[in-house]
């Protein structure tokens, strides 16, 4: 019996959400008194034995290069076969782009109950109950898994990485991936930007900024904070900013450590995408803006005056 | 080409979320129901666009739900689609629901199965993957663009910090989101036409439920905002650094 954690990667690098999954899976294993093992499909440049720091003792690798290109069907087959071979009873994946495509397929292959969007360790005192986010972060549901094998897809930024002491050993698994039916034609990464869903800090702008030409102050602030930039829906709809920055109920749902909202009113649909952020700062000239009710810190003021000052003060702090 | 579009009913985005019966059930009183925005704005509209380009395309809508989902499916038919199928069942277990959709998918021999990227109530983001495995088809999730040429689909999908372009031979399953199409408003003609479109009701096949929802919780209320004067930005930075430890 073991907890098996999927190590997800892109361009040779392990994703941040996978480190969270490793820490989470290690904690689940400890809770169940079984071993925590990780599974890597394809190859990465990270030092694998270092992953022991996240609480896993053993890493199984299917080192087939074809697995560096993602096809949900192939991944699911390899994960399911590995899980059976290793007698895994709990499988943990990050609820990221890979997890969303693959967890359901593995669930079918193993007849394993799946909870997606988990935000806390399972309650194993009476059965196996996982807390997940529902109603676009406006509530949580406690979901019981009844099957022998259980799959948890962990929401990004929901579980802190807990580094421990230790190194992991790597063992190769010889599983033959089936032929991929999805052909990757091109990959287009927006270079130099922090990916929104993985960002620790997000600086977000709304219609209060009046037009795309005014986004310089948002970008400057984001730069000093190494933050990702985001926006409200009307801002993306009017093409002031690209679609991939749209957060909210119908955009990305994010949970950074710090969310700074500039000139955003705080409509319920917007809040649904950001209210799991640990700390929320609102800058709005209207003291009645609903966003202040959901904020931790706020400044009632004109963004065009406040934001450049904020950038300057943070620069000072960072020396 | 035959397309199956999955339609789900969700509470309106402005709904007050509350629970009843000791927090075991969603409190539906006063709730306005809508078509899940991802299903309506992107999935269904993209299917309709494909039909507008090629009138031989056939669009079927499917929903798994009790009779009270019918107004929603009629609303979807008002936007477009040739007929709808309602599987008369209710469950919060996605495996159970996907099994019902897969059954219809097998019988109908569809070239394309569209789902929204997730529902805005249970936020499972999983039906597409489950259906794809149940019917053993390729699956691409989180599509932001979807084109089809003959039997080859070209899909742009979201990845961390960028996008990837995939090519897949039909049949396939795809989950879609913003970018794939633009929201449409149903017009009077569509609403009238929807009334006479076939809505088939079928009974569910037996399927396991692998999970069950025990109860719900609401997040703890925020402590309240700390306001800092606009001419004292340095104080905000101090608070973020020392108190919130966020920077
Ligand atoms: C079904 C549905 C789904 C939706 N999904 C989303 C979603 O996913 N994400 C989303 O964001 N929205 C969503 N919306 C839209 C949402 O209801 C709001 O309309 C939207 O969030 C408002 O965007 P905003 O705050 O940028 O603009 P506004 O509401 O126009 O607010 C602008 C704010 O800027 C402030 N302001 C103006 N000038 C300044 C200045 N100089 N300095 C400081 N502040 C200033 C104003 O006081 C105001 O509060 C959805 C709506 C529906 C119906």
Residues A16 and A128 in one domain: yes
Cα(B75) to ligand 1 centroid in Å equals 27
State in words which class domain B2-219 has.
Answer: alpha beta
Number of domains composing chain A: 2
Same domain for A153 and A47: yes
Residues A93 and A125 in one domain: yes
Measured CA to CA, the distance from residue A129 to residue A6 in angstroms comes to 21
Residue A197's pLDDT is 86
Do A60 and A207 share a domain, yes or no?
Answer: no
> Could you tell me if the CB of A286 is within 6 A of ligand 1?
yes
Q: Do A126 and A245 lie in a common domain? A: no
| Percent of chain B scoring above 90 in pLDDT | 96
Would A178 be classed as within a structural domain?
no
For residue A214, give both structure tokens: 């005014």
- Per domain, the residue ranges of chain B are 2-219
Query: Region A123-131: what's the mean pLDDT?
Result: 96
Tell whether the model's pLDDT for residue A198 goes beyond 90: no
Q: What's the pLDDT tens digit per position in B39-76? A: 999 999 999 999 999 999 999 999 999 999 999 999 99
Whether the predicted pLDDT of A193 surpasses 80: no
Q: Which tens digit of pLDDT belongs to each residue from A234-289?
A: 999 999 999 899 999 999 999 999 999 999 999 999 999 999 999 999 999 999 99
B237 vs A243: CB contact, 8 Å cut-off? no
Q: Please tell me if the CB atom of residue A205 comes closer than 6 angstroms to any atom of ligand 1.
A: no
A235 lines ligand 1 (CB under 6 A): yes
Domain shared by A7 and A154, yes or no: yes
Q: Identify which of B159, B148, B113, B153 has the alpha carbon closest to the alpha carbon of residue B133.
A: B113
Provide, as residue numbers in chain B, all residues whose Cβ is less than 8 Å from the Cβ of A246: 178
pLDDT tens string B75-122:
999 999 999 999 999 988 999 999 999 999 999 999 999 999 999 999
Above pLDDT 70, what percent of chain B?
Answer: 100
Count helices and strands (H / E) in chain B: 7, 15
For residues A186 and A162, the model is more confident at A186
**A12 and A125 belong to one structural domain:** yes
**Is A190 within 8 Å of B213 when comparing Cβ atoms?**
no
Residue A185 has pLDDT above 70, yes or no: yes
Q: Tell whether A167 and A237 lie within a shared domain.
A: no
Chain B residues whose beta carbon lies within 8 Å of the beta carbon of residue A134? 121-123, 216
Bridge-based pairing state of the strands B83-87 and B58-64: parallel
- CA atoms of B63 and B167, how far apart (whole Å): 28
Phi, psi of A155 (to 5 degrees): -60, 135
Cis peptide leading into residue B171 (ω within 30°): yes
User: How high is the pLDDT of residue A192?
Assistant: 67
CATH code of the domain containing A285 = 3.40.50.1220
Which of A213, A265, A293 to mutate for ligand 1's pocket (most ligand atoms within 8 Å of CB)?
A265
Buried b (16+ CB within 10 A) or exposed e, B176-215: bbbbbbeeeebeeebeeebeebebeeeebeebebbbebbe
Residues A144 and A206 in one domain: no
Q: Within this chain, do residues A94 and A139 fall inside the same structural domain, yes or no?
A: yes
* pLDDT tens digit sequence for A3-18: 999 999 998 999 999 9
Look up the pTM and report it.
Answer: 0.93
Residue A18 makes CB contacts below 8 A (sequence gap 6+) with A5, A6, A7, A8, A9, A94
Domain shared by A8 and A137, yes or no: yes
- Global ipTM: 0.95
State in Å: Cα B240 to ligand 1 middle: 24
Q: Answer yes or no: do A134 and A220 share one domain.
A: no
Q: State the average pLDDT over residues B207-218.
A: 96
Q: How confident is the model at residue A2 (pLDDT cuts 50, 70, 90)?
A: very high
The dihedral through the CA atoms of B204, B210, B216, B220 has a sign that is negative
Beta bridge partners, A279, equal A258
pLDDT surpassing 80 at residue A61: yes
- Ligand 1 atom nearest the C-alpha of A303 is 42
Q: What spacing in Å lies between the alpha carbon of B103 and ligand 1's midpoint?
A: 42
pLDDT > 90 in chain A, percent: 92
Q: Evaluate whether residue A223 is within a structural domain.
A: yes
Grade residue A194 by pLDDT with cuts at 50, 70 and 90: confident
In a domain, A14, yes or no: yes
To test the pocket of ligand 1, the residue of A204, A207, A289, A291 to mutate (highest count of ligand atoms within 8 Å of its CB) is A207
Instruction: Examine residue A158 and state whether it is found in any structural domain, yes or no.
Output: yes
Task: Give the CATH number of the domain where residue A14 resides.
Answer: 3.40.50.620
* Partner residue opposite A309 with nearest CB, options B212, B214, B233: B233
Domain that holds residue A287: 196-317
Closest residue to B126, CB basis, from A104, A295, A309 = A104
Q: pLDDT confidence of A123, banded at 50, 70, 90?
A: very high
Residue positions counted in chain B: 247
Report DSSP state, residue B222. P
Averaged pLDDT of chain A? 96
């Amino acid at each position: 019996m073991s907890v098996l954690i999927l190590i997800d990667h892109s361009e040779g690098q392990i994703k941040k959400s996978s480190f969270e999954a490793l820490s989470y899976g290690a904690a689940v294993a400890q809770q169940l008194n079984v071993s925590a093992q990780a599974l890597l499909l394809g190859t990465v440049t990270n030092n694998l034995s270092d992953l022991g720091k996240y609480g896993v003792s053993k890493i199984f690798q299917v080192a087939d290069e074809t697995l560096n290109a993602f096809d949900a069907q192939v991944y699911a087959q390899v994960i399911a076969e590995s899980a059976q071979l290793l007698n895994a009873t709990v499988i943990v994946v990050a609820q990221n782009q890979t997890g969303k495509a693959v967890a359901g397929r593995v669930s079918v292959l193993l007849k394993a109950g799946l909870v997606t969007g988990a935000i806390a360790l399972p309650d194993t005192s009476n059965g196996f109950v996982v807390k997940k986010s529902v109603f676009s972060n406006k509530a949580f549901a406690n979901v019981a898994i009844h099957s022998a094998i259980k799959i948890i897809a962990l929401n990004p930024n929901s579980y802190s990485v807990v580094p421990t002491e230790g190194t992991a050993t790597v063992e190769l698994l010889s599983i033959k991936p089936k032929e991929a039916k999805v052909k990757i034609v091109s990959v287009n990464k927006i270079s130099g930007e922090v990916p929104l869903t993985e960002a620790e800090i997000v600086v977000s702008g709304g219609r209060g900024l009046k037009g795309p030409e005014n986004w310089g102050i948002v970008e400057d602030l984001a730069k000093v904070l190494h933050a990702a930039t985001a926006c409200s829906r009307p801002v993306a709809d009017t093409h002031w900013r690209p679609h991939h920055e749209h957060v909210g109920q119908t955009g990305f749902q994010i949970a950074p450590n710090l969310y700074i909202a500039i000139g955003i009113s705080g409509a319920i649909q917007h809040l649904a995408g950001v209210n799991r952020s640990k700390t929320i700062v609102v800058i709005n000239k209207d003291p009645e803006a609903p966003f202040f009710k959901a904020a931790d810190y706020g400044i009632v003021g004109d963004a065009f005056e406040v934001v450049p000052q904020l950038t300057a003060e943070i620069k000072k702090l960072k020396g | 080409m035959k397309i199956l579009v999955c339609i789900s009913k969700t509470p309106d985005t402005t709904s007050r979320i509350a629970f009843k019966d000791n927090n075991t059930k969603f409190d539906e009183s006063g709730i306005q129901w809508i078509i899940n925005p991802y299903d309506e704005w992107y999935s269904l509209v993209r299917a309709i666009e494909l039909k507008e380009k090629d009138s031989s395309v056939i669009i079927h809508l499917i929903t798994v739900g009790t009779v009270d989902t019918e107004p929603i499916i009629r609303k979807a038919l008002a936007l477009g689609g040739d007929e709808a199928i309602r599987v008369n069942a209710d469950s919060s277990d996605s495996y159970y629901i996907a099994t019902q959709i897969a059954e219809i998918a097998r019988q109908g021999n569809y070239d394309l199965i569209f789902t929204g990227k997730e529902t805005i109530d249970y936020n499972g983001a999983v039906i597409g993957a489950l259906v794809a495995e149940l019917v053993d088809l390729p699956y691409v999730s989180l599509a932001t663009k979807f084109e089809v040429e003959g039997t080859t689909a070209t899909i742009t999908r979201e990845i961390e910090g960028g996008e990837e372009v995939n090519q897949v031979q039909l049949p396939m399953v795809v989950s879609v989101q913003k970018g794939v199409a633009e929201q449409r408003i149903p017009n009077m003609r569509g609403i009238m036409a929807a009334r006479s479109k076939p809505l088939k009701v079928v009974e569910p096949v037996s399927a396991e439920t692998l999970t069950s929802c025990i109860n719900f919780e609401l997040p703890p209320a925020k402590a309240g905002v700390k306001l800092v004067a606009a001419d004292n930005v340095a104080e905000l930075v101090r608070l973020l650094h020392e108190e919130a430890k966020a920077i």
